[in-house]
Amino acid sequence: MPGLTAPDQPAAARWTSTTDLHVEWGDGHPSDYRTDYLRAQCPCAWCRVERGKPAKERNLLAMRPTAQALASPAVELVGRYGIRMAWGDGHSSGIYPFTYLREICPCPACRQQRRR
C-alpha cells in the first residue's frame, strides 16, 4: 500500500502466513494480527449484535468460523479509510477503519496502553 504514510495509516502490509497479517504503520509501529483475532473483532453490525448476545444464543458460525474460513481472507482497500475483509465462509460485510485496526493492535505495548 504505497503512499499511505500518516501515523494512523499503514505504510506497508503483508501476509507472513495464511493467518497472520503484518502491518507497519506510518509512525513505524508494527502490528501483527491473527485472522481469528480480526474476525473476532469484526466491526460489522451483524457480528456486533452476535457478540452482544449471551453465549448460548450466538450464531456459532459468527463466533467460531472454521480454519478454512480464516485462511487468507481477501483484503480490499477502502479508499484511505480502511480495509474490507472477505472471509472464506462468504462473510464480507466487515470494514475495518485503519483507526480501528490500530486501536485493536494486539502487541503487548498497545494492550498495556488500552488498560490505562
Q: In the complex, which residues of this chain contact Zn ion (CB under 5 A)? A: 42, 44, 47, 94, 105, 107, 110
- Closer to Zn ion by CB, 80 or 111: give it: 111
CB of 30 to Zn ion, least distance (A): 7
Identity of residue 49: V
27: helix, coil or strand? coil
Nearest 5°: the CA angle 79, 33, 60 is 95
CB of 113 to Zn ion, least distance (A): 8
- Closer to Zn ion by CB, 13 or 105: give it: 105
Nearest 5°: the CA angle 46, 89, 23 is 80
CB of 110 to Zn ion, least distance (A): 3
